[in-house]
Amino acid sequence: MENIKAIIEALILSSDAPLPLDKICAVLSETRREDVKTAVAELTAEYDQRQSGISIQEVAGGFQYRTRTEMAAWIKKLKNVKPPTLSAAALETLAIVAYRQPLVKSEIESIRGVDVSAPLKGLLDKKLIRIVGRKDVPGKPIIYGTTKKFLEVFNLKDLSELPTLREMKELQLQGEAKDEVQEESREETKD
């Protein structure tokens, strides 16, 4: 078992992108998947326990060595570069793509209420979103979705890790309250 852990550490370090469990299992073909899973979990716990400055984190469907967030200030001191930033327009656009994907530009614009050409281009350049196809309607608009890199950059295991939109909960709660109080102004907007 000890040896498996050492191999996994080496595999994760040698991989440029987050390393999926499947690939680890493909390499450790003699080992049962369950055991590989346990080894990864134990390793992760060990790094945490010893309060190492680095940890094995699950992002974008794979495992990767990453520094702990508490270390950010020190690394910034070392690198002496400004961290990458996204404008509010880019973040809003990205959030809409992330939650509503796959979708076309006009759908993003109807939510934001403004033209989104500039933020879209920026997000494509940064490879946070990508073209996933074309919609089969007149004009064949381009359909956008998020990339694996989006998950890597935002430290997400997968898209399901995104928190549910607050709007949904609020609308439901509000709907219930309204039913009780004012009968007449009920909004039964069908979607």
From the list another protein, a copy of itself, none, which binds 175 (C-beta under 5 to 8 Å, kind-based)? Answer: a copy of itself
From the list a copy of itself, another protein, none, which binds 92 (C-beta under 5 to 8 Å, kind-based)? Answer: another protein
Site residues for another protein, window 70-129 (CB under 8 A)? Answer: 71-72, 75, 83-92, 94-96, 98-102, 111-115, 118-119, 122, 124-127
Question: In this chain, which of 41, 159, 176, 179 binds another protein, going by CB under 8 A?
Answer: 159
Question: In this chain, which of 6, 45, 171, 173 binds another protein, going by CB under 8 A?
Answer: 171
Question: Among residues 147, 171, 175, which one has the least CA distance to residue 159?
Answer: 147
Query: Per rule CB under 8 A, is residue 156 in the interface with a copy of itself?
Result: yes
Query: Per rule CB under 8 A, is residue 137 in the interface with another protein?
Result: yes
Query: Per rule CB under 8 A, is residue 44 in the interface with another protein?
Result: no
| Distance of alpha carbon 139 from alpha carbon 102, whole angstroms | 17
Long-range CB contacts (< 8 A, 24+ apart) of 134-142? 135/104, 141/104, 141/105, 141/106, 142/104, 142/105
Query: Per rule CB under 8 A, is residue 134 in the interface with a copy of itself?
Result: yes
Helix spans in 31-188 (H): 33-49, 72-79, 88-100, 105-112, 117-125, 148-153, 166-181
| Distance of alpha carbon 8 from alpha carbon 39, whole angstroms | 8
From the list a copy of itself, another protein, none, which binds 7 (C-beta under 5 to 8 Å, kind-based)? Answer: a copy of itself
